[in-house]
Structure 1
Amino acid sequence: MAGRNKPTTRRDPSRVARWDTGVPDARSPARYLLWIARGQLGAIAGATVFGTVWMVTLALMPALVGETINRAFARGDEPDLGAAGLGCAGILALGVVHHLSGTLRHRFSESSARTAGIRTILVLTRKIAALGSALPAHADTSAVVSVVTADIVPIGDFVRMAGRAVGALVSFVTVGGLLLGTSLPLGIIVLVGMPALTLSVGPLLRPLHRRQDAHRAVLSDLGKHTVDLAYGLRVLRGIGAERVFARRYREHSQRARAAGERLARVETLADLAQVLLPGLFTVLTLWLAARLAFAGTIAPGDLVTLYGLAGFLVLPIQTATELVDKTAKGLVAARRVVDLLAAPPGGPAEGLPVPGRPSAGGVELADPASGLVARSGEMTVVRVDDTEAGADLADRIGGYTESAVTLRGVPVTRLATPALRRTVLVVDSRTELFAGVLRDELDPGGRHDDARIRAVLDAVCATDIIDALPEGVNSRIGPRGYAFSGGQRHRLVLARALLTDVDVLVLVEPTCAVDAHTEAEMARRLSQVRGGATVVVVTSGRAFDTFADAVLRQSDGTGMEADR
């Protein structure tokens, strides 16, 4: 239909700008938390304003109730209904303001906390992507997952406390003035005694945090064994080690349970102290206030005021204690984030751009250390006797290790890492599949149609894998493609690499874990679907020799010689 709006896949620039986190301040955990807070001053300011109104209106409620009682019975036994009605209207209005401000406070607080978590996830995700293959040298998988999933919670809690903390401080000062105006002795006792008792919980926080760290470390270790047991079950059964690993998992599980029980004991004591001590002090204060009321020192309405204000003070003082606790936990979590952000990248984030591609037959890649020269648009086979030397060569070409390799005449170590990754793709046995729809896994950018995807799958002899799935290429696969065999996973990874359409493709043992017939067929078909890409095949076999433009042999792990 003419004039009808067509769907578009372009992203809204305003949404992209909103999540442009910028460069985090990772000089220290405290600076990182402040950076997170500065990034959402609007939400924090809203939470602070409405949190203050919420706290102050709650603090004024008992004072207004007490004043209403005093005015209503100021003439003795005859109540003043007009004063009582006016006071009740004021109480109702204060309650409405309290309710609305509480709702808005919660909305702003949750928004700031969740945004803090999402910004941390984005920062860490970009850092992980920049580290690339260098990530395992700085942190194992379970530790990274723990940082991304668990540590964002205390960081968000720290930001969430901002509005409550300011509101608690303002309301505490307000209540202090009301208490002193009602009864000077009781006001001094409450304002000095209650903070002292509540802050006495502080000594419990240090052992609490130590046990939290210990519990987290044990859970991280248990997570590693869980992953090993889940994904390696087939292998463990094959070598008869299933019971050994299951027993090892049970032992780690029991250690995690014991650590959790030790943590729960300290948490219980801390929570009990935070509630019990202020509560006991409130009972003592009310007992003293009741004695003053019976003695005629204070009016009955003042007793109601003191009762409400003393009970209210538990809230702001608990908030202060909670702020100390959340800040300490936030600093611990931020320390882990900062440690990961401080890891040196696998290459320069900023550097020289990748030069334009040379004409067909021009030098694309050159490795002076081995003598490798790969020409543009050609398939070069490097036959190796030492598979470790072949893997080292691939890492040098991909810029994962220091080397003198040049790409189109420029050292790869001087190229910007993002641009290098878009130009050179290394595929080896360490490459993994990810959970999700298989089609999205093979073609993340959605650039290819069904015919192209089918042609590439056919080239790597993987159509039988797809045909066996319930929904074909649209089927969902589990984490790391655990339902597939090693050979099937490798063929799917190879298909994904071919669909990226990079200029330079480095394949390390691309036909591993397949039989001789499939290997020969894959070599023939790969030469037909690679398009104009420059392909370097590092292999110990001869299946690709017939279809290669050049065959080199590396026998001593360093130098190369032409094999034909």
Structure 2
Amino acid sequence: MPLTTLPLPDPGSPDLSSPLAFLRWLGRSQRRGQVLATCWCVLEMGCMAALPVAVGRGVQAAVDHDTGGIWRAGALAVVLAALQSVGTVLLHRQAVWNWITAAAHVRQLVARQASRLGGGLSSRIATGEIVAVGSGDVEKIGWYVELLARVRGAVLVWLGVSAVVLVRHPLLGTVVLLGVPVLAASVWPLLGPFERRYAEQRALGGKATELAADTVAGLRVLRGIGGEELFLERYRAASQQVRGAAVRAARIWSLMQAQQILLPGLFVVVVTWYGAELAADGRLGIGELIAVYGATAFLAAPLRILGEAAHAWSVARVSAGRATRVLALTRTAADATLDAVLSRPERADLHDPATGLTARAGRLTAVVCGDPDVAGRLAARLGGHVPLAEGEQPQPAVRLGGTPLDSVPLTEARAAVLVHDKEPVLLSGTLAELLDVPGAGRIEIADALAAARADDVLDALVDGSPECAGDAMRARITERGRSLSGGQRQRLALARSLVADPPVLVMDEPTSAVDAHTETRIAAGLRKLRGDRTTVVFATSPLLLDQADTVVLLRDGRVTATGTHRELLTGDPHYRAVVTRGEDADATDATGPAGRADAADSTVPADSAAAAPRTPKEAACRSSEG
């Protein structure tokens, strides 16, 4: 049995016309596994059915005092037992393989659909429904797909046993041939009620999951208003509804289970009683009676598989219906312009309706925000597909060229807008592996490293990796770049983002860990390298802000001023207070009109303000340079 790498390279396009069609498509997608499982099932059950024949021949040989016949029957029984053991092991392995593959297949389809729909998925279907499909439903579907092969094997063996008995004893063969379908059909009247009750249980379970997710998301707010007990009672009531529905479904299932034991048992008793009468009249030998009894008793195994398949069909049909509802969702008509926007995203403006921030296409936009936490969250939002934090209220989606990013497939959104984290992670490996990222190919690695001013970083890597023989690209980076300083890690991560050359690049304080002299050179290199691309930089450094085409000031979550760095420095007291690390913005506003007028009168020249040190580190650095 070959190993299969998961996830699958291509999960394919499922048939979503109906739950049954979807289940059939899943079965066809693993034809080889289904055929192998059917063969092993036939081997296992065929040997199981033939074993009573060997025992019956041995008993008949003992009655006839045939020593050779006893040995032959014993040898046959040993061979059949060995083959049955082999078939059992191989069937179990293949059945588990089929189950896991089918479940993983469905889970991958659901994950692909969630990625394709993005944040718009939760607005079209309840969160609890998605969680239920991705967890419990895929297991039920996998169980049914795995059972298909065993059902085929059981039917084939039953037909074989019926044919043999029919040839030897037509009346008994007819009873065996017709009795199994009648017993199997006896369970079907219970399937409808069970399926309805199980569907009710799954629906209530999805609502309870959704309620739990909403409660956890708003836990901080609930604690603030003392609403924990209220939502606890709601969840307790929902949980009890799920429990009640599960008990009602279990009652029907227990009745089905009892029926699967009682009716085959009665069938065996009736056939064996009739066979005993034939043996008493001399029309049937003792050995043949044992073989008939064994064959009849064996039929309980196919009946058990058919009953299990009936149960699996009931739950899989409900689960497949839920899965097809998720997989059948399509993007809205408003997404018709996606291809046009994503084909040339560098020509599309990036706009955030929640803050009013607009980054013009092909320009370097700097965003000044006094709260670094707010800046970090906004930077993440500009990339789209950002989950809500605990207690955070949903906000309008960020738009690229008028298209909501959360309606764009995740891979396409991240290819169009790359968010450079404030604290990026460097994985262990060589420098060449670190910089081997998907990109447009427009920017060479050497140019990116030069723009990030990483010359000293290359020297440090070469010194720390004697095995690289002086080639910095072969130098190894330790886990998370621990052998490098914070500024060196920051510059390597910046070079990696520049090599990726995304149409829209969002950076949050990309030079916070470097000195002022290096920052000035990085700012100039960044502007040169990203000249015709859309770039958004969250920063408060005058050295970066002075290179921006447009500077946007954010206050209380909204854009309050827009202009160049020098214009805002002379015309907006709040901007000046944030950038020059002077008087707090709120204190500045509290001085009133007179205070603002005084501040305006005492404004320092723009050139000196732009060059003012922003931190004690920068002041010390400039002092040493002087």
Q: What TM-score results when the alignment is normalised by the length of structure 1?
A: 0.68
Which residue does 1:550 correspond to in 2?
A: 550
Indicate whether 1:86 and 2:66 are aligned: no
Contact 1:127 1:341 in 2 (8 A): yes
- How far apart are 1:326 and its partner, in Å? 2.4
Match for 2:254 among 255, 268, 283?
A: 268
Match of 1:123 among 109, 114, 121: 109
Q: Does 1:42 align with 2:28?
A: no
SS in 2 for 1:134: helix
The C-alpha deviation readout for 1:332-364, integer Å capped at 9, x for no partner, is: 322222221111137579945956797xxxx66
Deviations 1:287-342 (A, max 9, x none): 22222222322111122112111111111123233334323433332222222111
> Alignment partner of 1:137: what SS?
coil
Do the aligned residues in 2 keep the contact of 1:374 with 1:380 (CA within 8 Å)?
no
Of 79-88 and 310-319, more deviation after overlay is shown by 310-319
- 1:365 and 2:355 correspond: no
CA distance in 2, matches of 1:303, 1:339: 54
Instruction: Look up the match of 1:374.
Output: 360
Instruction: Measure the CA separation in 1 of the matches of 2:336 and 2:97.
Output: 35
**What RMSD in Å do the two structures reach over aligned CA positions?**
5.0
Deviation string 1:506-547 (CA, Å, 9 cap, x unpaired) is 79xx99xxxxxxxxx99xx9x999956745599xxxxx9999
Counterpart amino acid of residue 191 in structure 1: L
Match of 2:83 among 92, 97, 104: 97
1:421 aligns with 2:414: yes
Question: What is residue 318 of structure 1 aligned with on the other side?
Answer: 304
Deviation readout 1:370-421 (Å, 9 max, x if unpaired): 99661535115599xxxxxxx9xx99997999999649xx999999874443
2:465 alignment counterpart: none
Distance 1:129 1:67, change over 3 A: same
Distance 2:176 2:404 in 1: 72
1:64 aligns with 2:54: yes
2:583 is aligned to none
Pair 1:303–1:21, CA change in 2 (3 A): same
Compute the displacement of 1:447 (Å).
5.1
Asked whether the equivalents of residues 54 and 167 of structure 1 are also in contact (C-alpha less than 8 Å), the reply is no
CA distance in 1, matches of 2:561, 2:215: 45
What displacement does 1:83 show? 0.8
What amino acid is aligned across from residue 23 of structure 2 in structure 1? Answer: L
Which residues in structure 2 correspond to 1:183-332 (within 5 Å)?
A: 183-332=169-318
Task: Give the SS at the match of 1:151.
Answer: helix
> Compared with structure 1, are the counterparts of its residues 500 and 109 closer, same or farther at alpha carbon in structure 2 (3 Å cutoff)?
farther
With normalisation by structure 2, the TM-score equals: 0.62
1:145-164 equivalent positions in 2, closer than 5 A: 145-164=131-150
Per the alignment, residue 464 of structure 2 pairs with none
Q: Deviation per CA, 1:55-93, whole angstroms, max 9, x where unpaired? A: 11111111222233223433xxxx111110111101111
Alpha-carbon distance in 2 for matches of 1:498, 1:236:
44
Is 291-300 or 163-172 further displaced after alignment?
291-300
Unaligned runs of 5+ in 2: 370-376, 386-394, 428-432, 436-448, 453-479, 482-492, 539-543, 568-626
Match of 1:173 in 2: 159
- Say if 2:19 is the partner of 1:29: yes
Equivalence for 1:109:
95
1:51 aligned partner, one-letter code: C
* Aligned amino acid, residue 87 of structure 1: A
Partners of 1:447 and 1:231 lie apart in 2 by: 36
Task: Please identify, of 274-283 and 313-322, the stretch whose mean Cα deviation from structure 2 is larger.
Answer: 313-322
How has the CA–CA distance of structure 1 residues 269 and 60 changed in structure 2, closer, same or farther, with 3 Å as cutoff?
Answer: same
Q: Which residue of 2 aligns with 1:19?
A: 9
Contact 1:56 1:170 in 2 (8 A): no
Q: For residues 320-469 of structure 1, what are the structure 2 equivalents within 5 Å?
A: 320-345=306-331, 347=335, 351=339, 365=349, 374-379=360-365, 406=401, 418-424=411-417
Deviations 1:155-182 (A, max 9, x none): 2122212321121112111211232244
Kindly provide the CA deviation profile for residues 245-287 of structure 1, in whole angstroms up to 9, marking residues without a partner as x.
Answer: 1111221122122112111111111111111111122122222
Contact 2:44 2:87 (8 Å CA) reproduced: yes
- Partner-residue secondary structure (3-state), 1:206: helix
Structure number with the bigger relative contact order (C-alpha 8 A, sep ≥ 6) is 1
> What is the letter of the counterpart of residue 171 of structure 1?
V
Give distance in 1, aligned partners of 2:225 and 2:326: 36
Task: Report the equivalent of 1:7.
Answer: none
Distance 2:283 2:158 in 1: 25
Q: Distance in 1 between matches of 2:228 and 2:397?
A: 40
Helix, strand or coil at the partner of 2:360: strand
2:181 maps to amino acid: P
Q: Give the drift of 1:498.
A: 13
* Matched letter for residue 504 of structure 1: V
**Native 8 Å contact 1:397 1:405 kept in 2:** no
